[in-house]
């Protein structure tokens, strides 16, 4: 992919971003670019920029994908747990309620930030929604090319 910067007369090829590294950093709730800055200001409120590397994070459009994936994961864990406990111990219904309802809430709240972070990391790595794509030239990542080296002379 080549980005043409208007009126500059140079063409730069963006650096390839490591998708799995960005997803891993997002899972750790860290900046997908540097892995050191925190991605969240509060529980799920994304910092507009990384506090360490300054990379803009506000371009994310995670929207309702994090809850969707969280429900998918939590549902599989909880339903498997309910079925296993029922089969092994056949407890009363109230035991299931006391066990699995709080577990569902806690697991959802614990998994939502890393899953959202992973999706933001994926969007950043794929340059979606202004994460370094053509729609947001504020943070281009130019790599030295013959034309840019000649500019410095």
Binds Zn ion by CB under 5 A, chosen from 27, 28, 29, 52: 52
Name the phi and psi angles at 145, rounded to 5: -120, 170
| Smallest distance, Zn ion to C-beta of residue 69, A | 23
Which tokens go with 8?
């500059």
Query: Does 57 participate in binding Zn ion (rule CB under 5 A)?
Result: no
Q: Whose Cβ is closer to Zn ion: residue 59's or residue 70's?
A: 59
Query: Does 33 participate in binding Zn ion (rule CB under 5 A)?
Result: yes
Query: Does 121 participate in binding Zn ion (rule CB under 5 A)?
Result: no
The secondary structure of 85-137 as a DSSP string is HHHHH---HHHHHHHHHHHHHHHHHHHHHHHHHHHHHHHHHTTGGGSSSTT-T
Interaction site with Zn ion (CB under 5 A): 31, 33-34, 37, 50, 52-53, 55
């Amino acid at each position: 992919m080549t980005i043409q910067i208007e009126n500059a007369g140079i063409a730069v090829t963006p650096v390839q971003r490591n998708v799995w590294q960005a997803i891993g950093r997002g899972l750790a709730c860290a900046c997908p670019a540097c892995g050191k800055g925190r991605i969240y200001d509060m529980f799920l409120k994304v910092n507009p920029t990384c506090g360490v590397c300054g990379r803009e994070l506000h371009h994310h459009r995670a929207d309702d994908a994090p809850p969707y994936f969280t429900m998918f994961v939590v549902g599989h864990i909880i339903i498997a747990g309910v079925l296993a406990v029922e089969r092994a111990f056949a407890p009363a219904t109230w035991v299931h309620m006391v066990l699995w309802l709080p577990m569902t809430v806690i697991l959802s709240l614990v998994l939502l930030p890393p899953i959202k972070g992973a999706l933001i990391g994926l969007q950043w790595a794929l340059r979606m929604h202004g994460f370094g794509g053509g729609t947001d030239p504020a943070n281009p990542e130019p790599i030295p090319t013959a034309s840019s080296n000649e500019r410095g002379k």
